A and B are shown apart, each in its own frame.
Chain A
């Protein structure tokens, strides 16, 4: 399976329109992040794909062909719910053994999965002795047990320490490299940015914007910071460069010891560099800083 498409999905839960004409596409080899404030519909959309919420309207397609959310479909999905907690009395291995049996997975895979999620040594310990992060890693193990075509992860970073995050990044990289799909919901945008390909921002059940992180940055039209490292603060040419930038008037200019900072929109960065080229030997380096995804997200939600 190389693509999944959900079209025109509507879900009404009581008085709330939880999903309102949602259209989302997932592609093989890509991780798609669902972002949005609480109650935006992220988990509801995931549950629709898992058959846990029945949509009022909507159609689904895999590789361009219409599909039903049935048992055959469920066999192709791996799921990590938010803040999952398993039965305290069982060991990590027993939990995975149940899911392996239920999914028809060869038991030899259990050990490999436990090792992959870093629970190899804790596999015979009761889950009651697991930390929150270890339970989350066990949940991740359950999700990847069948090598599913589509991995659905709801807030997977919650409660994970650095070791847990490394395990998660490893799984995400492996899935993308294998051409499989990932749908991930998280509030840790900055943390996850480097591991995702597409972002879909939901608000009040509607898709606000969908695209790559760069697409979202463009849509947000937030200023980039062009930072020049000045050779000599006392050099009069630096003052002239600063004046030229201010006169140009397309960006906010700020001067700090050893540095000249110009905040501009991405399409003006080349012009800034052109102006600087008129003042040779004033700077020894430059760095362009993109707005963080958190800022982009806030801007998009604020503007909506």
Chain B
């Protein structure tokens, strides 16, 4: 990354630290994770069986929204402030601008999620802290995947309010309705679609992938069978590739779209 890109990463990070929204995210995430963790502790049941799945549900709902909100104004915000032209008049390629903005915001997201989970770990007992530590890596991947998607939405949008609306719709579609849609598909086709296809479609959505991965981590592979899924998660290499694709492809798409724009 060149001089402009590095400066932009720092600038984005600085801007996010001044952004009250990021502070609210950290506080909210810490509060909810701590609450769930303490509840699991007081319930006197096996922590992983109660705290883990609850935290997975909480994270799968909250983190994608937070990540997309964090990135939805990355490009369109500059466009509305009339500073995108100023930014692109610097000696830098457009794809580098997108990646620098992504990295700057990714660092802010990583910091707020880590701080949130870290606080919850501190107040939890040993078992709770272990559960939370298992959650950290996949939660960051989930956040970064949706952050990347938010970058793409930001580049495609002409107005910030449009980008915000698309973010909310995307969140509903991928986090709430996706699984319901797949269930509907199974019902409509009367089981004509194979379990493998459904499993593939589930893990094609980062929120679904995260849920399955964490369910398996907390409750063992049998939990997928209990859910009626015959297929297992792909191997570590395929999983890593899947996550990398979600992290990188939307951002590359964003960079290509911005590069292909004739007028900025």
Question: B66 within 8 Å of A by Cβ?
Answer: no
Chain B residues near A87 (CB-CB < 8 A): 15, 81
Question: A233 within 8 Å of B by Cβ?
Answer: no
Instruction: Name the one of B6, B18, B88, B93 contacting A89, with C-beta atoms under 8 angstroms.
Output: B18
State the CA gap A252–B8 with chains docked (Å). 64
Question: A187 within 8 Å of B by Cβ?
Answer: no
A102/B82 in contact, CB under 8 A: no
Question: B195 within 8 Å of A by Cβ?
Answer: no
| Shortest beta-carbon distance from A97 to chain B in Å | 8
State the CA gap A102–B7 with chains docked (Å). 5
A84/B86 in contact, CB under 8 A: yes
Question: A7 within 8 Å of B by Cβ?
Answer: no
B81/A86 in contact, CB under 8 A: yes
Number of A-B residue pairs at CB separation under 8 A: 80
State the CA gap A156–B6 with chains docked (Å). 29
Instruction: Name the one of A74, A84, A94, A101 contacting B3, with C-beta atoms under 8 angstroms.
Output: A101
A47/B85 in contact, CB under 8 A: yes
Interface-lining segment among A22-30, A50-58, A172-180, A283-291: A50-58
| Shortest beta-carbon distance from A145 to chain B in Å | 11
User: Given A90-B15, A94-B14, are A53 and B8 neighbors across the interface (CB < 8 Å)?
Assistant: no
Interface-lining segment among A75-83, A264-272, A273-281, A295-303: A75-83
B89/A77 in contact, CB under 8 A: yes
A50/B85 in contact, CB under 8 A: yes
Chain B residues near A103 (CB-CB < 8 A): 4, 90-91
Instruction: Name the one of B6, B18, B263 contacting A52, with C-beta atoms under 8 angstroms.
Output: B263
A102/B86 in contact, CB under 8 A: no
User: Given A101-B3, A102-B4, are A79 and B18 neighbors across the interface (CB < 8 Å)?
Assistant: no
User: Given A52-B89, A102-B4, are A86 and B83 neighbors across the interface (CB < 8 Å)?
Assistant: yes
| Shortest beta-carbon distance from B74 to chain A in Å | 12
**Residues of A that sit less than 8 Å from B by CB:** 13, 44, 47, 50-54, 71-72, 74-75, 77, 79, 81-87, 89-90, 94, 98-99, 101-104, 126, 139, 142
4 closest Cβ pairs, A-B complex:
A71-B91, A89-B18, A101-B7, A102-B7
